[in-house]
Chain A
Amino acid sequence: MVFIIRRLLQAVLVALVMSVLVFAGVFAIGNPADILIDPEATQAERLRLIQQLGLDRPLYEQYFIFLGNLLQGDFGTSFVFNRPALHIIFERMPATLELAFAAIFIAVVIGIPLGLWAGLRPNAVSSKAIMAGSILGFSLPNFWQGIMLILLFSVTLGWLPVTGRGPVGEFLGMRSSLFTLEGLRHIALPAFNLAVGLLALVIRLTRAGTLEVMPQDFIRFARAKGLRERRIIFIHLLRNILIPVVTVVGMSFGGLIAFAVVTETIFAWPGMGKLIIDSINVLDRPIIVAYLMVIVVVFITLNLIVDILYSIIDPRIRLEEAGQ
């Protein structure tokens, strides 16, 4: 319990520090007045608008107004859409989240078995092919991989649609394109494109973990007990490997959402990534700030969840905490 409360306090502190950095950083990008205000406008009109947006006040004052609003759940109004920034982001969020979840699913469901295979037979040709593939996945530019995926599966083979999000289905009150067949056909390529980096990482982590754990005495003792190979691999080995894998997958979630910018642009996926690129182009400051704060909160929450999951999987961590 103490462990969870301390982590929560840390999280709040980090969020506060990040809000300062985000605000200062975004302020440095440029003056939105230059873009928002019609160059033909009179000086008086200009001043009125600047005052209305609060851009004439000192920076720290703008920050405290911003922070005060934040605490009330008000992330400002988009200069462009003239609607609450948070609403606009939340409208776009499900598309990005489903993309990220689909990517994680692909990375884990394909990555762990491939990593196990490569780790259990490190000298087999198939294992070397898996590792070579993971290096390619890691090092070739993501946008190029995306374009190749479209070329191969959509243009040449014609199996999957080229771009966009499919129809949205409803399941248990959640609305997502994952719940329709056509939606799944649409998400397959972008999700795989987004997953490639993480997939390569999961394969390498699982393989490295397997190579490290299999020669250990407790595996030999498990064999000496007469356990079946299945149980040795999926319980004794996997439980030990899962710790780093869960950590990496959890921590990479935020990164996936950020990286979705590239994938969403290539596949014209209507998520937050595409929104933020558009907003940066027109210096729509409230959207940018709100987006960044949402990302910060996502990162911090994930950190917290990973820490807690970690302590469930690895009993030694709980003990260390208790011993402090």
Chain B
Amino acid sequence: MSALLEIADLQTHFLAERGAVKAVDGVSFKVNRGEVLAVVGESGSGKSVTGLSVMGLIGKPGKIVGGSMRFQGQDLSALSPEAMRQLRGNRIAMIFQDPMMTLNPVLRVDTQMIETLRAHRKISRKDAWTICRDALARVGIPAPDERMRSYPHQFSGGMRQRVAIAIALLNDPDLLIADEPTTALDVTIQAQILALVQGLVAERGMGVMWVTHDLSVVAGFADRVVVMYAGEVVEEGPVDRVISRPAHPYTLGLIGSVPSRNKRGAPLMQIPGSTPSPVNRGTACRFKPRCRFARAKCEDHPPLIESATGASRCWFHEEVALESREPA
């Protein structure tokens, strides 16, 4: 059986006067049914653009210039705009970072929920209302009958994200793309939302692409991790292996910069330098200027090198993995 979502060599560029911004520059990964795939990387690495590409929501001046995206075996780029619309919010749903901004401030919650159902199937307003009320209850919103008639500003940030999740799941999608949905929330609320999504995923067996820049969220939540850097995938593998034995210097750096994983009192590691320009990244390994493992070989851009436990875009992935196993 084919994967739920299969992206191969995706290239999404933004055409500017000074040249194309290569936001996504040859990204490949898979999301399987019933699996949570975490997509990790610092801000600007192309995570959001990847998610929006799958949704068919890249607007001008952006353009998908290469690669393929297959959803349940179907080529997404071959779909008409109308066929793509029918997929969005129905088979593939997406939630976004800022729950303050994702609900329309001047429309009531019931309006914003019911329209989501009615965009995809013929259903009476009354039946739709009942389904939506139950959906609110399922994401843990108290007094859902009353809350249906509320406006977004009458909810707290965490509650608003719950509403957004309820909306995203209304049509029982096969794939959920979550673009940093907990980044704007308090840590306690963050944990609640994670638990909620975990429960819903288990219950429905849908696939999830969970985008985050925060590796500490990933452990115990995701099944597999894809690490993105400068518009490409630099490492991929099962979550436990990637966290315990990263095989790319960038992943190693990311893990070092998570406070909770460090020994008490030990200095926090940081990755020196910053991301290369997305317009002209040259032909060397993109992480080379910031890498302490770098040597002459790194003048050549490395391919994604497969191993038994995933893949790494580093010529010296074995050496990196070896080092990361040693106690710090």
- B119→A224 contact, CB < 8 A: no
Asked whether, in the complex, the Cβ of B57 is within 8 Å of the Cβ of A227, the reply is no
Which A residues are closer than 8 A to B by beta carbons? 216-218, 220-228, 231, 235-236, 239-240, 243, 313-316, 319
Asked if A225 and B105 sit within 8 Å, CB to CB, the answer is no
Question: At the interface with chain A, which of B6-14, B81-89, B247-255, B300-308?
Answer: B81-89
Q: Is B116 a contact partner of A226 (Cβ separation < 8 A)?
A: yes
Instruction: Using A225-B167, A226-B85, A226-B86 as known contacts, say yes or no to A235 and B107 having CB atoms under 8 A apart.
Output: yes
- Which of B91-99, B133-141, B199-207, B313-321 lies at the binding interface? B91-99
**CB of A318, distance to nearest CB on chain B (Å):** 9
B5 vs chain A, min Cβ distance (A): 15
A228 and B106 in contact, given A218-B101, A221-B96, A316-B153 (Cβ under 8 angstroms): no
Asked whether B154 is an interface residue with its Cβ less than 8 Å from the other chain, the reply is yes
Among B93, B102, B107, the residue within 8 A (CB) of A239 is: B107
Say yes or no: B102 contacts A218, CB within 8 Å.
yes
- CB-CB under 8 A from B107, the residues of chain A are 235-236, 239
Q: Chain B residues in contact with chain A, CB under 8 A? A: 55, 57, 85-90, 93-96, 98, 101-108, 115-116, 119-120, 151, 153-154, 164, 167-168
Nearest A residue to B88 via CB reads A226
A314 vs B107: C-alpha distance in the bound complex, in angstroms?
A: 9
Return chain A residues, CB-CB under 8 Å to B94: 221, 224
Please tell me if the beta carbons of A216 and B88 are within 8 angstroms of each other in the complex: no
Q: Are B101 and A225 in contact (CB under 8 A)?
A: no
* Best-surrounded residue of B89, B106, B115 (most CB of chain A within 10 A): B106
CB-based contact B104/A222 at 8 Å? yes
Contact present for A240 and B55 (CB under 8 Å) = no
Q: In the complex, A296 Cα to B121 Cα: how many Å?
A: 53
Q: Name the 6 nearest CB pairs between A and B, nearest first.
A: A226-B89, A217-B101, A225-B89, A226-B88, A221-B102, A224-B94
Q: Count chain B CB atoms within 10 A of each CB in A224, A228, A231, A236 and give the residue with the most.
A: A224
Within 8 Å CB of B106, what residues of A?
239-240, 243, 313-315
Partner among A225, A235, A319 whose Cβ is within 8 Å of the Cβ of B88: A225
Write the nearest CB–CB distance from B293 to chain A, whole angstroms: 39
Quick one: closest B residue to A242, CB to CB? Answer: B106
What are 21 A-to-B residue pairs whose CB atoms are below 8 Å?
A221-B95, A221-B96, A223-B55, A223-B57, A223-B88, A224-B89, A224-B93, A224-B96, A225-B88, A225-B89, A226-B89, A226-B90, A231-B119, A235-B115, A239-B107, A243-B106, A313-B106, A314-B106, A315-B105, A315-B153, A316-B151
Q: A314 vs B106: C-alpha distance in the bound complex, in angstroms?
A: 6
How far apart are A33's CB and chain B's nearest CB, in angstroms? 58
Indicate if the CB atoms of A221 and B164 lie closer than 8 Å: yes
Taking the closest CB of chain B, its distance from the CB of A271, in whole angstroms, is 37
Q: What are the residues of chain B within 8 A of A236 when measuring CB–CB?
A: 104, 107
Tell me if A218 and B105 are in contact (CB < 8 A).
yes
List B contacts of A224 (CB < 8 A).
Answer: 55, 57, 88-89, 93-96, 168
Q: B103–A221 contact, CB under 8 A?
A: yes
Q: Determine whether the beta carbon of A216 is less than 8 Å from that of B89.
A: no
How many Å from the CB of B222 to the closest CB on chain A?
22
